[in-house]
Structure 1
Amino acid sequence: MMFLPLGCFLPRTAFLLLLLFFFSSFRPTQTEVVRSISDCADFLLNQSPPQIPNILEDGKILDQNRYKPICQTYRNTRTFLTLYDTKERIPVFSAIRVGQDQKAGRIPKKWMIEPQLEDESPNKNMKRDNKKQGAYKHQASNFDYKGSAIYDRGHLCPRSYGSTPTAKTSTFTLTNIVPQVKSFNGGSWEKMEKCVKCFMEKFCRNSNGVTEGFVVTGAQPGDKYLNNRVNIPSLMWSAFCCYSDDQKAWLASAHWGENVPDEPKDKYLPTKSLNDLNEDLGTPTFSVFPGKECPLGTTVSKFYPKLDKSCKCPPPTFKHRQTK
């Protein structure tokens, strides 16, 4: 038997590997529907997912056909986690680890969808939603929001919480969006987002002196639908927790509000404790941050005098993020 030298195959093999590397390096946007929350747990404090009765308990998704965990990824970089409700076509929650902001400029806004939710395609690429009419079976489309005079495309994980341009751009997926009343989205809710971001930048530094905070934001389904397809949440909530090396303590607070027009127009969402959030959502078994680190009965309001009485501390370079 005649054996060819291994060197005969090297040029072709090397060429094929080079082509594979070249094309894989230029996949524009990826998102990945994973099997378990644990497959994308780096955005959760201690990698522990929220405890949401009848949906997510002890780290297990109870109805895996309906609720899909998504590792939101852009340019081969995982940026945040979403648990998506394919029946109501809105996210249950999005979770992100907030770091030092690079203060990037304005990000081009392109709304995207998750093709894996439709056909379980092995292709992980998130793609731009180009539907001018029609609908997706398991998720919202940009068409669902077109022409609405009442509702915005409301981010759960806002662009401003992304620490890099890549992370900011990745938030513009419709799997991170809910129908949110415009004055609520651009009013008290946006003020809250800026307040939390400002607080984390000033007080949330880990033992290595690095900015680090964990935020989970969710929506409670309501009984109305946008375009007869996409559930309109009755309430939206957000909670954060971080370690403050300056205070030598863990800090946490929560905010929430009904998805209705802001009245009065200068309304602010009050800062509440994690226990307050659990009770308001109607169940003591609900827990955003399972574990013992995050204080349940106290808030960070005592730090606000160092910022402003109403926590008016918006990042200077960010404007309202809504697009049509």
Structure 2
Amino acid sequence: MLLLLLQVLASCLWLGHSEVVTSFESSCPQFFFQNTPPNEALVPQNPAWICQRYNNRYYFATLYDKTRRIPVYSAYIYQPASCGRPKTWLVEPEVSVLSSYPKMMKTEQSLSKEFKITLEEIGKHQAVLQDYTNLNGLNRGHLNPCCHQPDSDSKAATFTLTNIVPQNEKLNGGAWSIYEQQTMIKNTEGCKKTYVVVGAVPGNNYIANGRVNKPSYIWASACCEVNAKVRKTWAVIAENDRDEVESLTLGELEDKLTKLYGRSQVSLFDSACPRK
């Protein structure tokens, strides 16, 4: 009985340190302008709020849809650098069955070896590498791309399967890549700090025998601080079956997402970020 009580207590203490959290405001608000994440209009029926942690440090935040097994959005601070791509893909143990799993992203192999977790358990509420094999016209599209991160650990942290969606390969390597690597550099001229939220609108099609949703749209938004009083914003959206990116104001993107999601009015940033 004493052993059982100790096990329960240990489980509760570990749960208190969980990186799959109940709100971004109380756990990793630093990735959102004025500590204000997008409103509840984007929250799916089966969500996971993930403070993405790697090597004992937070790098970005992701709202994840555990039913569709894709991120709703990832939020981060833009700090561009050369894109040295890590070779290892990671998963989020705590999105899976037990909250007592490790609180940092790990590889599928290390989870299986260290904690005897099966691939079926890992993939119950999130995508696994096997889901992204044998793709036809699609590839692994980052929401938070490694080229928007400044060092090796922050780049490695973007290579979690909770940060990617099945993206049209021509779009990912074409117009979307131009936006990420050229337009963002141009748009952030004069910015002291740029907050970014990049997301995906769920679609009607799936890969991996219905396990992982293929988004209908990919979108991105940013709010930058020019100085203490001046801020500027921009946004883009792309259909996930063509190699085109449409430029929008922040307000136009929020209105478009409101129609696409069919819920309440979408708000991506604090009201201090201009909508026009």
1:129 aligns with 2:108: yes
Q: How does 1:178-257 map to 2 (within 5 A)?
A: 178-199=165-186, 201-205=188-192, 212-227=193-208, 228-245=210-227, 249-257=230-238
- After superposition, the Cα gap between the structure-2 partners of 1:55 and 1:34, relative to the gap in structure 1 and judged at 3 Å, is same
Q: Which runs of 5+ in 1 are unaligned?
A: 1-30, 57-62, 206-211, 298-324
**1:192 aligns to what SS in structure 2?**
helix
- After superposition, the Cα gap between the structure-2 partners of 1:201 and 1:109, relative to the gap in structure 1 and judged at 3 Å, is farther
Instruction: In structure 1, give the amino acid aligned to 2:239.
Output: E
Aligned equivalent of 1:275, options 248, 251, 256: 251
Q: Post-superposition shift, 1:192?
A: 0.9
Q: Post-superposition shift, 1:53?
A: 1.6
Match of 2:29 in 1: 41
- After superposition, the Cα gap between the structure-2 partners of 1:82 and 1:88, relative to the gap in structure 1 and judged at 3 Å, is same
Instruction: In structure 1, give the amino acid aligned to 2:162.
Output: T
Aligned equivalent of 1:111, options 67, 89, 93: 89
Aligned equivalent of 2:53, options 43, 66, 73: 73
Q: Post-superposition shift, 1:140?
A: 0.4
Number of aligned positions between the proteins: 244
Instruction: In structure 1, give the amino acid aligned to 2:207.
Output: L
Q: Which runs of 5+ in 2 are unaligned?
A: 1-17, 113-117
Instruction: In structure 2, give the amino acid aligned to 1:117.
Output: V
Aligned equivalent of 1:177, options 139, 147, 164: 164
Aligned equivalent of 2:130, options 140, 143, 148: 143
Q: Deviations over 1:46-90 (max 9, x none)?
A: 00011242628xxxxxx5xx1111111111111000011101100
Per the normalisation by structure 1, the TM-score is 0.70
Conserved? CA contact 2:250–2:274, under 8 Å: yes
Q: Post-superposition shift, 1:271?
A: 2.2
Q: Post-superposition shift, 1:125?
A: 2.9
CA distance in 2, matches of 1:54, 1:201: 26
Q: Deviations over 1:180-234 (max 9, x none)?
A: 11001111111111134313552212xxxxxx10000011111111112101100
Identity of aligned residues (%): 36
Q: Post-superposition shift, 1:240?
A: 0.3
Instruction: In structure 1, give the amino acid aligned to 2:140.
Output: R
CA distance in 1, matches of 2:91, 2:205: 22
Match of 1:290 in 2: 270
Per the normalisation by structure 2, the TM-score is 0.81
Q: Deviations over 1:5-60 (max 9, x none)?
A: xxxxxxxxxxxxxxxxxxxxxxxxxx92122222111100000011242628xxxx
CA distance in 1, matches of 2:217, 2:147: 21
**2:28 aligns to what SS in structure 1?**
helix
Q: Deviations over 1:275-297 (max 9, x none)?
A: 11122221671111132x21111
CA distance in 2, matches of 1:70, 1:204: 27
Q: Post-superposition shift, 1:97?
A: 1.2
